[in-house]
Amino acid sequence: MLATLETTHRPVETDGALLMTRDVFKIFKTNDLETVVLRGANLRVKPGEFIAILGRSGAGKTTLLNLISGMDTPTAGQIVIRNTDISKLDETQRSAFRRRHIGVIFQTGNLMPFLTALENVTLPQQWAGVAQGEARPRASDLLTRLGLGTRLSHKASQLSGGEAQRVGIAIALANQPDLILADELTGELDTETADQVMNLLEELHRTQGTTLVVVTHNARVAARAGRIVHLRGGFLVEGN
């Protein structure tokens, strides 16, 4: 099905970029009030890049991430990933595309509370067609590398906020996506655990060529990226 939906829309030329946003606007309307969050945001990310989008709280970082992940659509403009303008796909198609190509790390773990940590990481892999015999060991390995080896059988409702977020990170990594999007991923974590998480992401970036886009207000996190882009006044501005 995914191969079909990716070929039913004309490929968009990106000059080698894995991700491109082109003149993206996002306007939220409440009754007669309009709030313009993004005002023509442009971004190009090459395969294998690690970039940080730095901006103050309320600048629109989460809005931008939701658009790039296909969880929302822009008011105007294009969101192109792997030469596919995902803003032209319907919700079902965007979900299928995201499952195959994008891993999203949320500020909260976004887990199913009645499942164990291991089950939460195994299930999305099975939805993507990974056999259980492969999915469970991969889930166990990721959770162990994130310091949760003793919490595999604990239900999500029994985990602390920081533990739940680390399970969410394992979920995002489990299907080995082309692109990982992270939304304030260290917000719930202590400094030591945050460094552990960042080290794992950097290892994936270095050894597997995974493309990382991290949105953050934390300059210390942003400094670990190869490139920093600032979100100011609804625009994306390059530079440190």
What does the pLDDT look like over 105-148, one tens digit per residue? 877 667 999 999 999 999 989 888 889 899 999 999 999 988 89
Q: Which of 5-19, 53-67, 104-118 has the highest mean pLDDT?
A: 53-67
The secondary element (H helix, E strand) that includes residue 86 is none
d(CA 69, CA 26): 14
Q: What tens digit of pLDDT does each residue of 147-171 get?
A: 899 999 999 999 988 888 889 889 9
What phi and psi, each to the nearest 5 degrees, are found at residue 53?
-105, 110
CA pair distance 219, 228, nearest whole angstrom: 10
Return d(Cα 39, Cα 217) in angstroms, integer: 20
Q: How confident is the model at residue 89 (pLDDT cuts 50, 70, 90)?
A: very high
Q: How far is CA 43 from CA 68, 79, 101, 136, 146, in A?
A: 11, 9, 18, 36, 31
With bands split at pLDDT 50, 70 and 90, how would you rate the model's confidence at 2? very low
Residue 87: band (very low, low, confident or very high) from pLDDT cuts 50, 70, 90: very high
Residues 85 and 104: their CA atoms lie apart, in Å, by 18
At residue 3, does pLDDT exceed 70?
no
**230: domain CATH number?**
3.40.50.300
Q: What is the pLDDT of residue 149?
A: 95
Domain interval for residue 180 = 2-238
Percentage with pLDDT > 90 across the chain: 55
Structural domain total, the chain: 1
DSSP 61: H
